[in-house]
Amino acid sequence: MPINPVSVVVLAAGEGKRMRSNTPKVLHPVAGRSMLTRVLDTANALSPQAIYGVYGHAGDTVRSACADYTVSWVHQAEQLGTGHAVAQALSAIPDDHQVLVLCGDVPLIRATTLQALMAQADGAVGVLTVELETPTGYGRILRDADGTVIGVVEEKDASPAQRQITEVNAGLMCLPAGHLREWLSELDTGNAQGEYYLTDCISQAHAQGVPVHTYACPDPWEVQGVNDRAQLAAVERACQRRQAHALMRDQGLALADPDRFDLRGSLQVGRDCFIDVDVIIEGDVVLGDNVQIGAFTQIRDTHIAAGTRLLGHCQIEDTHIGEDCQVGPFARLRPGTSLAKDARVGNFVEVKQTQVGPGSKINHLAYVGDATLGAGVNVGAGTITCNYDGKRKHHTAIGDHVFIGSNSALVAPLEIGNGVTIGAGTTVRDNIAADCLAVDDRRPRQVDGWRRPGESVVDRHDSDDDSTAKGVR
Ligand code: UD1
Ligand code: CA
């Protein structure tokens, strides 16, 4: 680390026209977090004296999206170039600081790379570079015969020979504030874009004998900028790959395919967890040991204890799932749900704001909302808690070892005692005491010789339009 205190300037004034979006460019998310807050997190990891954010458009939106961060905001009313942008922040920065310039639209830069850059600069100038096979669009690093950096030339100002140079300016650099102040004051707009170029400071440093050091970024994705949706998608994939590999390496997570895994938040896993393809993890998710997640599942802000299996196609949000449970396929667990040990929730079941006791089962086609279920409850297929009267939500309390027959409607508020049995197809409107049977024993009425409107019995049997059968007849 350099001895000089560091002030970080994050450039974020560009409009981002090519995104064709109403959202300011730097607020577009990469792996669930805005590019700008990613850069601010990285800046904070360097423990700088201060962070300056240079914004131009949609200042209120940008500032409020970064409300959790300590940033000194600086307005750049007109985008007159990167040199002009840095100058807006510089008046507040003391001469003995190192100024580290970052870009709000270069989100994957690592703190370790910036530390290496500043160590390399050693109080003088440091330029982060990258070798690109196709350097089109970037500023090229100019060196003399000895290899000393003498300047940076922008693509649009470069001669055909200079355009052959594949060592480019990544756009991130650090410079001593005192010198930078002087260099910026001498910039002019005599270039192809009519802008104040920060990069022109490099030739000034060279002219004054201030050493210019470079640090070659080992991973080109770290310095990939985002100007359009295609680059945003590419950076998203790179970030996802980085996260997937970190999870496999650091936490021993087994991923069926690291290229088909999306983490938009944080994931902590125990030993021997497995995640199948096309799973999306959002918010803060924790998995215990030996948890298996089936394909095409989305999990947000959820804790899943050891030994639990999620089959495919589940939607899980803000839920706590105990040990050795089985959920899915096609289950939806909505906020406020908890499943105790050994519980089961099967296909086409929706559970909301409900505590399911140990060993209880809701295996098929049910809606259970605003309820508590004791231990060993069996909820039959087609059971519905009628929790909503059109205005308010009501609670259903179900005791231990209750057996609910298929297609029952439980009209809340309702209390069902321990050991109750509910016959299939029962609409339960009143509380039921422990160990009783609730049954709706209205039998279907049989009407003999029934004809459907306009139909004779003969018509009905004819209607199965099967020509071979007709041939036999
Ligand atoms: C800049 C560098 C170029 C480098 C490239 C890497 C200059 C002159 N050129 O070029 O050498 O290879 O980055 O990506 O610095 N910004 C402002 N205010 C302004 C202008 C820009 O805040 O007035 C911000 C932009 O929002 C962006 C960053 O500065 O985050 C870089 O600006 P951009 O116009 O993209 O620079 P390039 O022309 O790509
Ligand atoms: Ca530009």
pLDDT exceeding 70 applies to what percent of the chain? 96
Which of 192, 223, 254 is at the close of a domain?
223
What number is the average pLDDT over the span 113-138?
Answer: 96
Query: Does residue 306 share a domain with residue 164?
Result: no
At 462, the pLDDT band (50, 70, 90 cuts) reads low
Q: In this structure, is residue 288 part of a structural domain? A: yes
pLDDT at 265 over 70: yes
pLDDT at 257 over 50: yes
What angle in degrees, to the nearest 10, is found between the helix axes of 82-90 and 177-185? 130
Is residue 364 among the annotated active site residues? yes
**What is the C-alpha separation between 322 and 356, in angstroms, rounded?**
10
pLDDT at 458 over 80: no
Atom of ligand 1 nearest to the CA of 106: 30
**What is the C-alpha separation between 252 and 241, in angstroms, rounded?**
15
pLDDT at 43 over 60: yes
Query: Does residue 173 share a domain with residue 33?
Result: yes
pLDDT tens digits, one per residue of 341-389: 999 999 999 999 999 999 999 999 999 999 999 999 999 999 999 999 9
Q: In this structure, is residue 372 part of a structural domain? A: yes
Number of domains the chain is built from: 2
Please tell me the predicted confidence (pLDDT) of residue 470: 45
Distance (Å) from CA 82 to ligand 1 centroid = 5
What's the CATH code of the domain at 387? 2.160.10.10
Q: From the centroid of its chain, how far is CA 49? A: 30
Please tell me the predicted confidence (pLDDT) of residue 471: 44
Pairing of strands 167-176, 98-103: antiparallel
Query: Does residue 128 share a domain with residue 21?
Result: yes
The residue whose CA has the least distance to atom 17 of ligand 1 is 13
At 461, the pLDDT band (50, 70, 90 cuts) reads low
Query: Does residue 293 share a domain with residue 199?
Result: no
pLDDT at 289 over 50: yes
pLDDT at 105 over 90: yes
Query: Does residue 256 share a domain with residue 209?
Result: no
Question: What is residue 459's three-state secondary structure?
Answer: helix
CB of 103 closer than 6 angstroms to any ligand 1 atom: yes
For the chain, the average pLDDT equals 95
Query: Does residue 252 share a domain with residue 196?
Result: no
**What is the C-alpha separation between 207 and 197, in angstroms, rounded?**
17
Q: In this structure, is residue 233 part of a structural domain? A: no
Please tell me the predicted confidence (pLDDT) of residue 442: 87
What number is the average pLDDT over the span 252-281?
Answer: 98
pLDDT at 56 over 80: yes
Q: In this structure, is residue 457 part of a structural domain? A: no
What global pTM score does this model have?
Answer: 0.91
Please tell me the predicted confidence (pLDDT) of residue 2: 46
Tokens 């896993």, residue located: 269
Query: Does residue 426 share a domain with residue 278?
Result: yes
CB of 171 closer than 6 angstroms to any ligand 1 atom: yes
pLDDT at 444 over 80: yes
Q: Output the six-digit token pair for 70.
A: 């300590």
Distance (Å) from CA 229 to ligand 1 centroid = 18
Q: Is the CB of residue 86 less than 8 Å from the CB of residue 101?
A: yes
Query: Does residue 159 share a domain with residue 251?
Result: no
Among the bound ligands, name the one nearest to the CA of residue 89.
1
Query: Does residue 319 share a domain with residue 184?
Result: no
Q: In this structure, is residue 131 part of a structural domain? A: yes
Distance (Å) from CA 366 to ligand 1 centroid = 56
Helices (H), 224-347: 229-251
Which of 189, 223, 257 is at the close of a domain?
223
Please tell me the predicted confidence (pLDDT) of residue 3: 72
Query: Does residue 82 share a domain with residue 176?
Result: yes
Please tell me the predicted confidence (pLDDT) of residue 455: 81
Q: In this structure, is residue 451 part of a structural domain? A: no
**Of 303, 364, 394, 395, catalytic:** 364
Q: Is the CB of residue 217 less than 8 Å from the CB of residue 130?
A: yes
pLDDT tens digits, one per residue of 401-437: 999 999 999 999 999 999 999 999 999 999 999 999 9
Q: In this structure, is residue 182 part of a structural domain? A: yes
pLDDT at 466 over 90: no
At 4, the pLDDT band (50, 70, 90 cuts) reads confident
CB of 81 closer than 6 angstroms to any ligand 1 atom: yes
Among the bound ligands, name the one nearest to the CA of residue 140.
1
Q: In this structure, is residue 235 part of a structural domain? A: no
The residue whose CA has the least distance to atom 11 of ligand 1 is 139
Query: Does residue 266 share a domain with residue 167?
Result: no
Count CA within 13 A, CB hemisphere, residue 237.
Answer: 7
Query: Does residue 190 share a domain with residue 313?
Result: no
Instruction: Identify the domain containing residue 63 by its residue range.
Output: 6-223
Pairing of strands 344-356, 361-373: parallel
- Residue 223 makes CB contacts below 8 A (sequence gap 6+) with 106, 108, 109, 128, 130, 170, 171, 172, 217
What's the CATH code of the domain at 104? 3.90.550.10
The residue whose CA has the least distance to atom 30 of ligand 1 is 103
pLDDT tens digits, one per residue of 164-178: 999 999 999 999 999
pLDDT at 460 over 80: no
**What is the C-alpha separation between 104 and 10, in angstroms, rounded?**
6
pLDDT tens digits, one per residue of 72-97: 999 999 999 999 999 999 999 999 99
